[in-house]
Each structure stands twice: as structure tokens, then as C-alpha cells.
């Protein structure tokens, strides 16, 4: 199979906001307890944080982490998680039917963020609590001193404010499973008031309005339109959530689901622009894709009800999952002009790229690597590649390109990267990359993941599925020629010489 990509500087889609490589930690399963926080572990530091986890988070180069939920946040009282640990109450978490000990809370998470070289995307409870409760949390975390809540933080041992800049206004508030679920108009009103009061408390913050809980939600479309119609001028982003799975074993359709993702993103952009036009606003609403991943291996895992941090949603990812995650990352980058924030859900143990044993080891899941590659090499601006390649039909989709690709260009560091997935199950692709106006740029590395069975996985002491380095592609008269193995993830890096 032959394929061609044409690239030029003027094909710029937009600047890549580093926050597009964000992730997510929820008080769910072993994400916190036994994940990022395990005081009895041999790698734990003085704060109880697993340093082996922190090391891998740094490798992923995650700039922002959403916290503390998720469904959990809609019943969470933030006051339960601050102050002396011995005085904190244990609570029933109705979202996940477990017991929350509150040994880990806001200040512990902020300390962890600093050690992991990341920042916090804080979510507030707009399910069972009020706009004023959200405002109070902003005052507690961000106000310097001289008020009851700022001084309360100082009395807890944190003299300097945390200065959290990005805030989620609840979570999936259209979902019947959500504590305090609301209609679009009810949610729009409380989101407007919460965002307004939070920004009055700290005018440097940004806020994210909850969109529909998924593209398949019965509220999708009308929810975004009605809630944005109320809160448009007060908020900065609208959220999207989407997970994909391969329940029926149809690999070709599984890989093709980015066509559906593309349509989802385009639809939300259209709704945002409709409300902008309706309001005659000068403000363009950007997107926060703050939950996305492959998720289907672990939905029905049994656990002990009302226990503390039972294993939950612990997907063990296989090789085909990694190709889908890579394809989803490419799709997000293709819309970086409007998608400014995205969070791979989640970061550790719970549908996550990093997996730990409580009291034991750690390993990188298959999906770790596409995320690591894009986060570290996909900076600067995204370029729209003109792709010429064969197409095919699957059981669910028609006219599916065999090649999914995006290019990024970092002018400051004089580097380019082409990310591509060969979706053919059995055919090599000879790819020509035509560099129209990148004089002096030459290929320096070709990283790929290929040659694995679609069901191959990793485990403790068994990092089987991982990238390898290929022969550097040739370049002739501005055309780079690379060989893409069947069913493969590819990273082709170029530098100016």
C-alpha cells in the first residue's frame, strides 16, 4: 500500500495548548489510595506519595490533572478533606458505593502536583452543594490571607495560596447516575452563578461548563445549547466526555471510531458557534475534552460494597487499545484550534496508563506509549496533513482511511513530528512525506509499536508491548519515505540541520 502526506507551514491548524495532554485522578478505586498515595509502600516519600508513580507521571509530561472527580465530586464536601487527618470524617461515597476515609484531600493533592511537575484542574460540587460552596473553595485555595477561609488554610500549614487557575463546574450533571442531577436550565443557572462568584473571588481563574455526559446521551446537543445560552459569557470552556470499546471483537470498526469522534467534536463546535451568533458575542467558546479513553474491559468487576479503595475499573489494556488511543490523540490534535484542554481518564490504576500493585510493583500499560510520545514530541503548532491513502469499509463505518495522521511543528526548537497509525491489519504502507517549505529538515528518528497480536498486554515484570526504534527514513528532494508496518503506531521525528 502506498500513501502520501503533504505538509507546509501555511497548513497550520492552531497552536497546541500543552493542557491538551492532561489527565485525571478521581477518588475512585485505587487511583488515590494504593495509586498515587500509599504511605506504607517502600517507595513512599515523607508525604506518603509513591515516588515510582511520580517518576512515570513525569515521563508522561502531564501538564494538568483533573481532581477529585468525576462522579465522586457531586457528593463531595471539600471541607472533609482539609485540616488534621485525625479529625477528618469517613463518609459514604454514593457515586461508587465505597467508603471515603478522607486521609487524602485538597492540600495533599496540591503537594502531589508540585512533586509530579503538574498543575491542578479542580472540580467543584454542583450536585449536592451550592455556588457559594464552590466560591468558598476558591477562597480557601487561592486567597492570600486576611479572610476566614484563607486563614483556615494557613492554620492547616499552607501559608501560600495554591493559585489554582482552572475549575470544572461540576461533572456530567445531565446523568441520572449523578448526585444532584439537573436539567439543562437548572444546571445553566447554577453554573452561571458559581462561575460568576468564583471569578469575583479570583478574577484570574477560568471555568469549564459541563457538556453532555457523552455523545450518546439523550440530552446531547440540546443540553449544550440550553446551558450555554444561560452561562455563555461567564464560562470559558465547555466539556466533552467520550469512551470507546470493542465489545464485539470487531477490530476494524474499533479502530475506525475516530470518525465518530470527529463528528462529535464538530457538532459541539457548531453548537458553541450557534450560541455565539445568537448572542452576537465576540467571544469564541473553546472545548475541554476532560474525559476520554478506551474503557470496556472492567465495567462489571465485582467488589466489596462500602469498602475503602477496592480495585475498580482496572482495565488491562492490549495492543489494539494503544492504537485507538493513539488515533484519538491524533484527532484531538487535529482540533487544537478549539480543543485547549483534554484529560486522559484516568492516570493511575483506574482505566489508566500506569498500573500499580498495592504494596508491590508498577508497570506501563500499552496505552502509556502513544500518550508519552505525543505529550513529549507533539508541541508547538499542529499542521493539517493532506493525506492521500486507500480507504476501506468496516461493519460500522464506510470510507475509512487506512492512515490516520497529524504533524506538529515546533519552530522555536526547529523540530517536527509526524504521528500516524496504519490501520491495515495485514499490509505495509510505504509513506511519502512531502515537505513543501521545510528546507533543511531531515528525519532523525522513527519510533513504532508493531508486530504484536491485538490482544497482547503488559504486566508486572513483563513490559512486553513497547516501542522500538527503526531505521531512520530516507529523504530525497524534500520527500521523506518511511515504511509503516501493518497495524502500527508510528512517530517520525525531524530536525533542522
DSSP code string of 152-163: HHHHTT--S---
Sequence-distant (6+) residues with CB within 8 A of 131 are 190, 193, 194, 196, 197
Residue 421's pLDDT is: 98
Residue 430: helix, strand or coil by DSSP?
strand
Backbone torsions φ then ψ of 256, nearest 5 degrees:
-85, 0
If one counts every other C-beta atom within 10 angstroms of the C-beta of residue 340, the result is 21
Q: Which of 224, 291, 372, 404 is catalytic?
A: 291
Q: Which of 26, 38, 100, 172 is catalytic?
A: 172
Residue 302's pLDDT is: 86
User: Can you read off the three cell numbers belonging to residue 444?
Assistant: 532523525
User: Can you read off the three cell numbers belonging to residue 40?
Assistant: 506504607
Residues of the chain with pLDDT under 50: none
d(C-alpha 491, C-alpha 418), whole Å = 6
* Start-to-end C-alpha separation, the chain: 31
How far from 461 is each of 128, 365, 446, 464, 465, CA to CA, in Å? 44, 12, 26, 9, 12
Between vectors from CA 192 to CA 188 and to CA 198, what angle results, nearest 5°?
Answer: 140
Helix then strand then coil, in percent of the chain rounded to 5, is: 30, 30, 45
d(C-alpha 402, C-alpha 418), whole Å = 16
Question: Which own/partner pairs from 51-55 qualify as long-range (CB within 8 Å, at least 24 positions apart)?
Answer: 52/356, 52/362, 53/348, 53/354, 53/356, 53/362, 54/112, 54/115, 54/116
| Catalytic residue status for 320 | no
User: Strand pairing partners for 398?
Assistant: none
Residue 30: helix, strand or coil by DSSP?
coil
Tell me if 84 sits within 8 A of 366, measured CB to CB: no
User: Strand pairing partners for 434?
Assistant: 6, 479
Tell me if 249 sits within 8 A of 268, measured CB to CB: no
pTM to 2 decimal places: 0.97
d(C-alpha 188, C-alpha 131), whole Å = 12
Residue 301's pLDDT is: 75
d(C-alpha 162, C-alpha 36), whole Å = 20
Tell me if 430 sits within 8 A of 331, measured CB to CB: no
E strands within 329-414? Answer: 339-344, 354-356, 362-364, 381-383, 386-388, 391-392, 400-401, 403-410
What stretch of H or E contains 65? strand 64-67
Residue 299's pLDDT is: 76
| Catalytic residue status for 411 | no
Amino acid at each position: 500500500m502506498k500513501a502520501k502526506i503533504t505538509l507546509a507551514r501555511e497548513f497550520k491548524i492552531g497552536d497546541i495548548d500543552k493542557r491538551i495532554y492532561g489527565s485525571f485522578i478521581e477518588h475512585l478505586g485505587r487511583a488515590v489510595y494504593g495509586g498515587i498515595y500509599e504511605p506504607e509502600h517502600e517507595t513512599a516519600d515523607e508525604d506518603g506519595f509513591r515516588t515510582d508513580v511520580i517518576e512515570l507521571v513525569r515521563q508522561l509530561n502531564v501538564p494538568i490533572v483533573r481532581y477529585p472527580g468525576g462522579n465522586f465530586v457531586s457528593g463531595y464536601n471539600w471541607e472533609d478533606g482539609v485540616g488534621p487527618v485525625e479529625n477528618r470524617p469517613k463518609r459514604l461515597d454514593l457515586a461508587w458505593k465505597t467508603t471515603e476515609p478522607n486521609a487524602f484531600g485538597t492540600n495533599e493533592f496540591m503537594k502531589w502536583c508540585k512533586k509530579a511537575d503538574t498543575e491542578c484542574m479542580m472540580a467543584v460540587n454542583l450536585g449536592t452543594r451550592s455556588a457559594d460552596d464552590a466560591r468558598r473553595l476558591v477562597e480557601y485555595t487561592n486567597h492570600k490571607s486576611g479572610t476566614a477561609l484563607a486563614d483556615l488554610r494557613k492554620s492547616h500549614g499552607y501559608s501560600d495560596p495554591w493559585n489554582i487557575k482552572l475549575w470544572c463546574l461540576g461533572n456530567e450533571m445531565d446523568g441520572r447516575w449523578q448526585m444532584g442531577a439537573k436539567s439543562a436550565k437548572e444546571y445553566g443557572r447554577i453554573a452561571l452563578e458559581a462561575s460568576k462568584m468564583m471569578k469575583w473571588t479570583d478574577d484570574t481563574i477560568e471555568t469549564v461548563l459541563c457538556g453532555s455526559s457523552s455523545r450518546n446521551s439523550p440530552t446531547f446537543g440540546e443540553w449544550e445549547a440550553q446551558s450555554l445560552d444561560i452561562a455563555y459569557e461567564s464560562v470559558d470552556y465547555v466539556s466533552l466526555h467520550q469512551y470507546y470499546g470493542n465489545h464485539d471483537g470487531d477490530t476494524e470498526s474499533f479502530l475506525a471510531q475516530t470518525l465518530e469522534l470527529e463528528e462529535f467534536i464538530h457538532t459541539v463546535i457548531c453548537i458553541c458557534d450557534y450560541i455565539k451568533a445568537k448572542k452576537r458575542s465576540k467571544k469564541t467558546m473553546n472545548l475541554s475534552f476532560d474525559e476520554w479513553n478506551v474503557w470496556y474491559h472492567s465495567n462489571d468487576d465485582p467488589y466489596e460494597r462500602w469498602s475503602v479503595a477496592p480495585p475498580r475499573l482496572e482495565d488491562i489494556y492490549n495492543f489494539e487499545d494503544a492504537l485507538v488511543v493513539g488515533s484519538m490523540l491524533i484527532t484531538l490534535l487535529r482540533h487544537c484550534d478549539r480543543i485547549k484542554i483534554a484529560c486522559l481518564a484516568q492516570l493511575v490504576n483506574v482505566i489508566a496508563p500506569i498500573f500499580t500493585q498495592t504494596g508491590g510493583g508498577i508497570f506501563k500499560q500499552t496505552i502509556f506509549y502513544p500518550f508519552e510520545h505525543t505529550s513529549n514530541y507533539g508541541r508547538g503548532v499542529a499542521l493539517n496533513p493532506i493525506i492521500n491513502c486507500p480507504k476501506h469499509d468496516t461493519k460500522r463505518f464506510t470510507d475509512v482511511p487506512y492512515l490516520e495522521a497529524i504533524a506538529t511543528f515546533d519552530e522555536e526548537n526547529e523540530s517536527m513530528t509526524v504521528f500516524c497509525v496504519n490501520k491495515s491489519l495485514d499490509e505495509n504502507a510505504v509513506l511519502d512525506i512531502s515537505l513543501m517549505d521545510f528546507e533543511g529538515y531531515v528525519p532523525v528518528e522513527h519510533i513504532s509499536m508493531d508486530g504484536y497480536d491485538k490482544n497482547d498486554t503488559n504486566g508486572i515484570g513483563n513490559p512486553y508491548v513497547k516501542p522500538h526504534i527503526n531505521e531512520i527514513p530516507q529523504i530525497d528532494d524534500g520527500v521523506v519515505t518511511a515504511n509503516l508496518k501493518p497495524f502500527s503506531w508510528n512517530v517520525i521525528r525531524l530536525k533542522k540541520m
